[in-house]
Structure 1
Amino acid sequence: MNIHFIAIGGSAMHNLALALHHKGYTVTGSDDVIFEPSKSRLGEKGLLPTEFGWFPEKVTTNLDAVILGMHAKSDNPELVRAQKLGIRIYSYPEFLYEQSKNKTRVVIGGSHGKTTITSMILHVLNYHDREVDYMVGAQLDGFERMVHLTEENDFIVLEGDEYLSSPIDRRPKFHLYKPNIALLSGIAWDHINVFPTFENYVEQFRIFVDSIVKGGSITYNVEDEEVKEVVEASENSIRKLPYITPLYSVKDGQTLLETPEGAMPIEVFGKHNLSNLAGAKWICQNMGVDEDDFYEAIATFKGASKRLEKISEGTSSVVYKDFAHSPSKVSATTKAVKEQYPDRRLVACLELHTYSSFNAEFLKGYKGALDAADVAVVFYLPESVKIKRLQEVTPDQVTAAFQRDDLKIFTQASQFHDFVFNQNFENTVLLLMSSGNYGGLDLEAVRQKVSN
């Protein structure tokens, strides 16, 4: 097949392009800007556009399909050309469904935890040499790409994102996959720019549960009240399989998971990650992996990229970086680190970076999110608020939202960076949380300061 990507440089899009190239398809693409690592990875396979921009002449009747990325606009000249020529246009999730409609589709959904759970499942299957197709939102150890598609594999494991499919398809991605086996980990309001009310956001998960193929199953976190209500109210003819956080303990900075064979040390930690592990276990068992094989494999799982990623460790200090940015994720991550290192000072730094986090109403959701930290820090750039064309966010608003009198707030990158580098890291854990880059913080310099 001849496939053209409009906005090929995105994290998800370039991985799909690489997967189709690996499958033997002829792949072309365009974008107005491509950053690393997408740029190098596309370049290595000869898929990097020779120049940036949109070129309608690339879209011809020789194409079998066009795949449209969210980064493109609805009036994109290449998209307009494809529409005029009557070429089949797919959104990213539509095309994944097209590639997997004759497979058993396993879809992992939830406001938080879905990348980690999907990564755990793939790690276990890979450990036991079980071949599956997949799409996951993080680069995993032992996997060349974040997307893998074949003709022969029976299963496909898909991370089910609730964000919109494309500029011309406003349905959430996970509505299009029609799972046979599904999981729902948690529901906590996110993507406020698309789902302006909590009820509207929750409705997307109701639709997801109802989209499960009749006779299929939903494995769900019964400890999350919203998830419990959504799943148990569904009248879809599916099996409903609840899970809870397994028993575990923390001893000398090591998390021990209780198993039928006794306590087993594991690499990940925190109640949130242990809950994720329980969900992954039940999905793997639904896919034919027995319990003992799951435990053997999961003991070697070190975590998904950008999720509680240890970037440096000294004799009595350690630094973690995490993708957490929504209130529930920030709270869970901060509590997990404090539980793992109860006798160390925890300095937790959160960068407000997303559209939602700059919304005055959404900001209130951060109440108590950093309470587990000994030193709580919030950093944001007022110019980022202006770029997003939102109302000004003041330090007083942030303090009121978090409801912590000793909260440290920085609105200049240089001041935040000075704070980090002036820390005494002895007997300290530094936790950095953001979906951004902390105002250009030199993480390598942080790593060296802590490890020396």
Structure 2
Amino acid sequence: MHIHFIAIGGSAMHNLAIALHEKGDQVTGSDDEIFEPSKTRLKVKGLLPEEFGWFPEKLTSDIDAVILGMHAKADNPELLKATELGLKIYSYPEYLFEHSKQKTRVVIGGSHGKTTITAMILHVMHYHDKEVDFMVGAQLEGFDTMVHLTEENDFILLEGDEYLSSALDRRPKFHLYQPNIALLSGIAWDHINVFPTFENYVDQFELFLDSMTNGSTLVYNEEDDILTQLALNAKKPTRKHAYSTPEHTIDDAVTYLETPEGPLPVEVFGKHNLQNIAGAKWICQHMGVDQDDFYEAINSFKGASKRLEKIAESNKAIVFKDYAHSPSKVLATTKAVKAQFSSKVVLACLELHTYSSLNSEFLKEYKEALNAADEAVVFYSPKALEIKQLEAITEEQIFEAFGRKDLKIFTNPEAFREFLKSKSYLDQVLLLMSSGNYGGLDFEEIKKWIQ
């Protein structure tokens, strides 16, 4: 097939383009700008557009399908031409469903943990040489791409994002997959620019459960009361398996999981990650991996990129980088690091970067989210507020929202950098939580500071 991508440079889109190219399809694409690592990865595969911009003349009746990325607007010239020609236009999730109609679709959803759980399952499958199709939202150790598609594999494992599908399709992505097997990790309000109330956000998960196939299987986190109620009321899945935090111990900064064969040391830590392991185990069992084989494989799982990722360590300090930005993720991550390293001083730094986190009303959701840390910092850029066309936020609002009197607040990237550089880092853990980069912080430079 000849498949054309409108906005080929996105992190998900370029991976899908490469996957289809590897499968043998003819792939072309356009974008107005492409950043690393997408740019180099597309170039290596011969898929990088010769020049940036939109070229409606590229769209012809010879094209079998057009895949539209979220970055493309409704008035995109190529999209208008594709519509005029009557070409079949798919959003990213629509195309994945089209590809997987004859497969067993396994969808991992929830407000938090879905990337990690998907990564855990893939790690176990890879460890035991079990081939599956997949789409995951982070680069994984041992995998070249985040998307892998074949004709022959029986299972496809999909990370079920609740954000919108495309400029034309305003449905959440995970509503389109119609899973045979699904996992939901929990519900915590996010994406307030799309789901303005918590009730509206919860509705999306109810709709997801209703989109499952008849007689399907649902795995869910029973420690989430709202999710548990939705799961018990769901009519489509006939098999329902609840999971919770498994028994474990922490000894000398190592977490041991209690198993039938005795304590098992694991590389990841924190209550949320142990819940993720419990959920992943259920899914793997439904995909043909028994409990003993699961434990053997999960022992070597080191985590997904940017999810409590250890980026530096010395005899004085350890530095973790984490994608956490929503209140529930910040709370869980900060608690996890302090519990794992109880004898060390934990310095937790959070960048308010997303639309939700910079919203003055939503800020209240962060109450006590950083309290587990010995020292806490919040960084935000007033320019980010301007770009997102949001009202200005005062330091007083942030102090009040987090409920921590000794909170340090920075709005200047250089001042924040100097603050980090000035620390002694003796017996410390530095936790950097953000979906951004603190206004250009050089993470490589941090490695020198902790020596």
Q: Normalized against structure 1, the TM-score is what?
A: 0.99
Alignment-mate amino acid for residue 349 of structure 2: C
Q: 2:385 is matched by which residue type in structure 1?
A: V
User: Gapped runs of 5+ residues in structure 1?
Assistant: none
Aligned pairs for 1:33-432 within 5 A: 33-432=33-432
**Alpha-carbon separation, structure 1, partners of 2:252 and 2:47:** 49
Amino acid at match of 1:279: G
Supply the distance in 2 between the matched residues of 1:189 and 1:312 (Cα, whole angstroms).
32
For 1:4 and 1:291, how far apart are their aligned partners in 2?
A: 42
Query: What amino acid does structure 1 have at the position aligned with 2:257?
Result: L
Preserved CA contact (<8 Å) 1:14 1:42: yes
| Aligned partner letter, 1:374 | D
Residue 237 (structure 1) shift = 4.5
Q: Distance in 2 between matches of 1:162 and 1:365?
A: 19
Aligned-partner SS, 1:207? helix
Q: What does the per-residue CA deviation read over 1:122-143, in whole Å, with 9 as the maximum and x for residues that have no partner?
A: 0000000000000000111111
What is the letter of the counterpart of residue 281 of structure 2?
Answer: K
Task: Give the Cα separation in 2 of the matches to 1:136 and 1:351.
Answer: 24
- Cα distance in structure 1, aligned partners of 2:224 and 2:237: 22
The whole-number CA distance in structure 2 between the counterparts of 1:150 and 1:359 is 42
Task: Give the match's secondary structure for 1:165.
Answer: coil
SS of residue matched to 1:363: helix
- Partners of 2:385 and 2:391 within 8 A in 1: yes
| Distance (Å, rounded) in 2 between the aligned partners of 1:65 and 1:235 | 35
Cα distance in structure 1, aligned partners of 2:405 and 2:428? 21
Question: How far did 1:362 drift?
Answer: 0.9
Aligned length: 451
Would the aligned equivalents of 2:105 and 2:178 in 1 still touch at CA under 8 Å? Answer: yes
1:93-120 CA distance string (max 9 Å, x none): 0000000000000000000000000000
Letter in 2 for 1:358: L
Q: 1:401: how far off?
A: 0.3
CA offset at residue 316 of structure 1? 2.8
CA RMSD of aligned residues (A): 0.6
Q: CA offsets, 1:4-54, max 9 Å, x none?
A: 000000000000000000000000000011000000000000100011110
Preserved contact between residue 216 and residue 236 of structure 2 (Cα < 8 Å): no
- CA-to-aligned-CA distance 1:329-380 (integer Å, 9 cap, x gap): 0000000000010010000000000000111121100000000000010000
Distance 1:410 1:159 in 2: 34
AA matched with 1:367: K
**Which amino acid in 2 is paired with 1:181?**
I
Distance across 2 between alignment mates of 1:283 and 1:220: 10
- Which residue identity lines up with residue 46 of structure 1 in the other structure? G
* Whole-Å separation in 2 of the counterparts to 1:315 and 1:263: 27
Displacement, 1:448? 2.1
Unaligned runs of 5+ in 2: none
Distance 1:231 1:37 in 2: 39
Between the aligned partners of 1:437 and 1:61, the Cα distance in structure 2 is 43
Query: Contact 1:353 / 1:384 at 8 angstroms: preserved in 2?
Result: yes
Quote the offset at 1:233 in angstroms: 1.8
What's the secondary structure of 1:356's corresponding residue? coil
* Aligned-partner residue type, residue 208 of structure 1: F
Q: Counterparts of 1:136 and 1:365 in 2: how far apart (Å)?
A: 28
**How far does residue 229 in structure 1 lie from its aligned partner after superposition?**
1.5
- Matches of 2:404 and 2:155, distance apart in 1: 48
In the aligned structure 2, how far is the partner of 1:431 from the partner of 1:65? 44
Cα deviation code 1:249-308 (max 9, x no counterpart): 100011000000100101000000000000000000011100000000000000000000
SS class of match (2:257) = strand
**Cα pair 1:212 1:238 within 8 Å, conserved:** no
SS of equivalent residue, structure 1 residue 166: coil
Partner Cα separation in structure 2 for residue 74 and residue 47 of structure 1: 24
The CA distance in 1 between the partners of 2:226 and 2:409, in whole Å, is 32
For residues 102 and 294 of structure 1, the distance between their equivalents in structure 2, rounded to whole angstroms, comes to 26
Q: C-alpha separation between the residues in 1 aligned to 2:321 and 2:188?
A: 22
> CA separation in 2, counterparts of 1:265 and 1:333?
19
CA distance in 2: counterparts of 1:431 and 1:189, whole angstroms: 23
Other structure's SS at 2:357 match? helix
Q: How far does residue 156 in structure 1 lie from its aligned partner after superposition?
A: 0.3
Q: Which runs of 4+ in 1 moved over 2 A?
A: 235-238
| CA–CA separation in structure 1 for the residues paired with 2:231 and 2:400 | 35
Matched with 2:449 is 449
Measure how far apart 1:75 and its partner are. 0.4
CA distance in 2, matches of 1:238, 1:377: 46
Contact 2:189 2:198 survives alignment (8 Å): yes
State the identity %.
Answer: 68
Q: Following TM superposition, by how much is the alpha carbon of 1:385 offset from its aligned partner in structure 2, in angstroms?
A: 0.2
Letter in 2 for 1:217: T
Q: Which residue of 1 aligns with 2:26?
A: 26
CA displacement at 1:236 relative to structure 2: 2.4
- Residue aligned with 1:350, SS: strand
